[in-house]
Structure 1
Amino acid sequence: MKRLYRSDKEKMLSGVCGGLAIYFNVDPTLIRLLWVLLFFMNPLMIIVYIIAAIIIPIAPEGVLYDFSKEPEKIKAESGE
């Protein structure tokens, strides 16, 4: 099961964008650019970012969250 965590490796401020990038399996730079664009469209997005940094937990030790192989894992577990 996929879980959303703040990234401890792909972080610039608090790891929210890095965690979202890992969760959606995209480049963290794209998520960061999206946040900047959303911030210029609506400055209240900084509050959303701060709330996300508070609510989303940091990835615990030993949790490997590389979801690039997730579809293969799901297929293997379902027996297809």
Structure 2
Amino acid sequence: MWPALGMIAGGALLWTVYSRCDAWVTAFVVMAMGTMVGNSMGMASNLMGDGGDIAAMASHWVLDGLMVGIGAMASVKIAEMA
């Protein structure tokens, strides 16, 4: 449960920085998010022909992206309420 909450918080942070700061600051946040979401390396190796179980890796990769998206959406909704 904690990794999912971390991805939601990361998505909220990503959108907040993207909407309020310069583009170069957002690049640092994207790099931090890339290291936090651990399945990006596995998905990249499967896409490059590693021969692993791509269906299992893709499901984790999509779910990680969904959690980050939920966090970004929550950040927008919270800003609209204020």
TM-score range, shorter chain: 0.3 to 0.5
More RCO (CA 8 Å, sep 6+): 2
Normalised to the residue count of structure 1, the TM-score between the two structures is 0.35
Higher helix share: 2
Normalised to the residue count of structure 2, the TM-score between the two structures is 0.34
